[in-house]
């Protein structure tokens, strides 16, 4: 039961890339990159990279960049 757990002991599940991946940098800061699979066909990889870079401003890199969102959710 979730209500019986001690605060801070809940397991947080995060997606894990399956297989090999590469980091696509989104801008000048090398710490801001997105992992994509290396097994993608070239055309799909190029389209995805273009889409990610074209929408880089939509990504939040810290909780401070998400005003109004409960830190528990972030």
Q: Please indicate, yes or no, if residue 52 is contained in any of the structural domains.
A: yes
CB < 8 Å & 24+ apart, contacts of 49-54: 49/24, 52/24, 52/26, 53/24, 53/26
Q: Is residue 72 domain-resident?
A: no
Q: Give residue 36's domain range.
A: 21-57
Q: What is the pLDDT of residues 14-44, one digit of tens each?
A: 666 678 999 999 888 888 888 898 989 999 9
Residue 26: inside a domain: yes
* In-domain check, residue 49: yes
pLDDT of res. 62? 81
Residue 48 lies in a domain: yes
- How many structural domains does the chain have? 1
| Stronger pLDDT, 4 or 2, i.e. the higher one | 4
Summarize pLDDT for 37-70 with one digit per residue, the tens.
898 999 999 999 999 999 988 888 887 888 888 7
Closest CA to 52 of 31, 22, 27: 27
């Amino acid at each position: 039961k979730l209500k019986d757990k001690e605060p801070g002991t809940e397991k947080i599940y995060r997606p894990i890339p399956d297989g090999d991946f590469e980091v696509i940098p989104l801008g000048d800061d090398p710490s801001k990159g997105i992992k994509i699979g290396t097994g993608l066909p070239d055309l799909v990889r190029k389209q995805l990279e273009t889409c990610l870079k074209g929408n880089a401003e939509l990504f939040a890199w810290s909780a401070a960049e998400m005003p109004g969102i409960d830190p528990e959710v972030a």
